[in-house]
Amino acid sequence: MTPDTTNYLILGYVIFSTVMIAYLLSLSVRNRNLKQDIELLQELEQDAQKE
């Protein structure tokens, strides 16, 4: 008789999804932050050059 191990299957893929989504989110958040930093720094650079 094949045991019912579906719960473990679900657990496994839930963890997989959680970690993957977390990582992808982290990538996109870091991406956005860095782009904002670049914008800000470039503005500051232009301001400094005007003086």
Q: Does 29 bind another protein (CB under 8 A)?
A: no
Torsion of CA 15, 19, 21, 25, to 10 degrees: 160
- Closest contact distance (angstroms) between CB of 51 and another protein is 13
CB of 50 to another protein, least distance (A): 14
Q: Which amino acid is at 18?
A: T
Burial class (CB in 10 A: 0-12, 13-18, 19+), 48: exposed
Residues lying near another protein in the complex (CB under 8 A) are found at 2-6, 8-9, 11-13, 15-16, 19-20, 23, 27, 30-31, 34-35, 37-38, 41-42, 44-45, 48
